[in-house]
Amino acid sequence: MVSITADLIPLVNFVLATAIFALGLWGYRRSGRQTEALVGVAFGLFAITHLLTLLGISSTELLILIVRIIAYVVVMYAMFRVAAGHTYG
């Protein structure tokens, strides 16, 4: 039971992050606003780290940490743009 749950969490995270990635890029293509693209790219990075976890490539823990930090910084930048009023273009 523990193994199923342990494998299910990264799988669900991968699926959801991939969906947000696709929605972000779709939103960018429709609106042209960079905020949607930035959020989509950040979640694409999250999806990559979840895929590495699913594939059992645990020797890349430092890489996963670095990629997730970059993704969080990208999301923070996107939210800063929204807060500063730069939501168009």
CA pair distance 65, 46, nearest whole angstrom: 10
Rg over CA atoms, the chain: 15
Helix spans in 1-89 (H): 2-31, 34-54, 61-83
Helix axes 34-54, 61-83, angle to 10 degrees: 160
Query: What pLDDT tens digit does each residue of the chain (89 aa) get?
Result: 456 666 799 899 999 999 999 999 999 999 999 999 999 999 999 999 999 988 888 678 899 999 999 999 999 999 999 999 876 66
pTM score of the predicted model: 0.87
Tell me the backbone φ, ψ of residue 33, rounded to 5 degrees.
-85, 135
